């Protein structure tokens, strides 16, 4: 199985599973965690543009939300995920992990601190625990996908053949 086919297959399957999970998972903290994990795992296995498309597929969660929380926070979730992905893709090393978490956390922290000034009637799900749940789910998703991506890149790199000192041919002296 070629690696491009494997990337397409895994990207499509993970995006479909994440979209299906939006129908099944109903409590908001678990839905937020599933959304973050889906996008970052699709990024690790499927590739870059699959992760941006998976972020848009989270709109499926709007159809299974009787509380209305997902309608309010869908732009924030997708914006945070896209900011994290953009920063992670610009710096793919370990610095990118920290930058992607900052890109994920900055919109969430800004909303929590400025929500009374932006809209006094805006109520966030989970109240004061919203910041903790969102930052924790973002951190779990970013670290998990970075570890998986590191091992996937490491296993796909060709390994240099080991040569020993005795394997070099010796020239025999002619008698």
Domain ranges of the chain: 3-155
Q: For the residues 113-136, what does the mean pLDDT come to?
A: 77
Tokens at 134, concatenated = 């969102």
Q: For the residues 36-54, what does the mean pLDDT come to?
A: 83
Output the pLDDT for position 107.
84
Q: For the residues 140-146, what does the mean pLDDT come to?
A: 82
More confident residue, 163 or 59: 59
Domain 3-155 bears CATH identifier 1.10.1760: yes
163 pLDDT higher than 70 = no
Output the pLDDT for position 69.
75
* Distance of alpha carbon 159 from alpha carbon 146, whole angstroms: 21
State what percent of residues in the chain have pLDDT above 70: 85
Nearest CA to 144 out of 100, 105, 106, 103 is that of: 100
Output the pLDDT for position 44.
82
State what percent of residues in the chain have pLDDT above 90: 0
Q: What is the pTM of this model?
A: 0.72
Q: For the residues 42-51, what does the mean pLDDT come to?
A: 81
Q: Secondary structure of the chain in the HEC alphabet?
A: CCHHHHHHHHHHHHHHHHHHHHHHCCCHHHHHHHHHHHHHHHHHHCCHHHHHHHHHHHHHHHHHCCCCHHHHHHHHHHHHHHHHHHHHHHCCCHHHHHHHHHHHHHHHHHHHHHHHHHCCCCCCCCHHHHHHHHHHHHHHHHHHHHHHHHHHHHHHCCCCCCCCHHHCCCCCCCC
1 pLDDT higher than 60 = no
* 99, 91 contact by CB (below 8 A): yes
131 pLDDT higher than 50 = yes
List all residues 6 or more positions away from 102 whose beta carbon is below 8 Å from its beta carbon: 87
pLDDT digits (tens, 9 = 90+) for 90-106: 877 778 788 888 888 88
Sign of CA dihedral 39, 43, 45, 48: positive
Q: For the residues 16-44, what does the mean pLDDT come to?
A: 82
User: What is each CA distance from 89 to 48, 61, 66, 82, 158, in whole angstroms?
Assistant: 8, 26, 35, 10, 23
Residue whose entry in the numeric block shows the structure tokens 């992670």: 88
């Amino acid at each position: 199985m070629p690696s491009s086919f494997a990337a397409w297959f895994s990207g499509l399957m993970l995006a479909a599973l994440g979209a299906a999970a939006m129908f099944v998972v109903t409590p908001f903290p678990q839905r937020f965690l599933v959304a973050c994990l889906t996008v970052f795992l699709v990024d690790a296995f499927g590739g870059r543009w699959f992760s941006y498309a998976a972020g848009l597929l989270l709109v499926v969660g709007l159809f299974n939300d009787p509380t209305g929380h997902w309608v309010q926070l869908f732009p924030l979730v997708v914006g945070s995920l896209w900011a994290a992905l953009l920063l992670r893709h610009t710096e793919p090393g370990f610095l990118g992990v920290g930058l992607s978490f900052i890109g994920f956390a900055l919109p969430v922290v800004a909303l929590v601190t400025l929500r009374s000034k932006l809209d006094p009637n805006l109520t966030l799900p989970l109240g004061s625990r919203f910041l903790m749940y969102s930052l924790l789910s973002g951190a779990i998703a970013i670290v998990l996908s970075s570890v998986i991506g590191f091992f996937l890149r490491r296993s796909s790199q060709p390994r240099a053949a080991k040569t020993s000192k005795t394997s070099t041919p010796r020239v025999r002296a002619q008698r």
